[in-house]
Amino acid sequence: GEIAHATAEPGGLPCLCGKTGCLDTVASLSAISHLATRAGLPGDLEQLEQLAAQGNLGAVELLHRAGSALGLMIAQMVQIMDPQHVLVVRQGGELTGLFGRAMRQAAEGNILPQLAPRPEIITGDVMADSWAFGAASVAADRSLFREF
Ligand SMILES: [Zn+2]
């Protein structure tokens, strides 16, 4: 699917896909960087996380908004697909700061409580072979489950 282009904020910012308010305009690293520099903040996630930890309200608001949007989208995907695990990775770093906490809080707070067992939300850094695993997974899914 194209979760990045699912609407996260109706009437939000224009997206490259032609729609407005896509998750990609709120919670992608490029959107965070763009919104941060537009607000006079550093565009680097680590620097934003540091500022947020020091109490910078602009950084806190931006990271909380982005993480919450991603978490809410994850909750919706969980309710549709009922996965056992949700894996959220980032190339070049973990999601241990405010962005990751807001994401996890929004996801866990918006999954139907009666949905049991709840999926484990795993965050981490992209490993060198993650892209190959992902491509192999897509190929295996298509050849094993969709070609019948
Ligand atoms: Zn879009």
Q: What is the pLDDT of residue 91?
A: 80
Domain that holds residue 133: 3-145
Domain total in the chain: 1
The domain that contains 40 carries what CATH number? 3.30.420.40
For the segment 61-77, what is each residue's pLDDT rounded down to a tens digit? 999 999 999 999 999 99
Note the pLDDT tens digit of each residue in 89-148.
888 778 889 999 999 999 999 998 887 788 999 888 888 888 888 889 889 888 888 755
CA atoms lying within 13 Å on the CB side of residue 101 = 9
Residues of the chain with pLDDT > 90: what percent? 68
Q: How far is the CA of 105 from the centre of ligand 1 (A)?
A: 24
The per-residue pLDDT for range 4-56, each reduced to its tens digit, is 999 999 999 999 999 999 999 999 999 999 999 999 999 999 999 999 999 99
Tell me: pLDDT of 81 over 80: yes
**Is pLDDT above 90 for 2?**
no
**Cα 82 to Cα 116: distance, rounded to the nearest angstrom:** 9
Within 8 A by CB and 6+ apart from 47, the residues are none
Q: Which residues surround ligand 1, an ion (CB under 5 A)?
A: 5, 15, 17, 19, 22
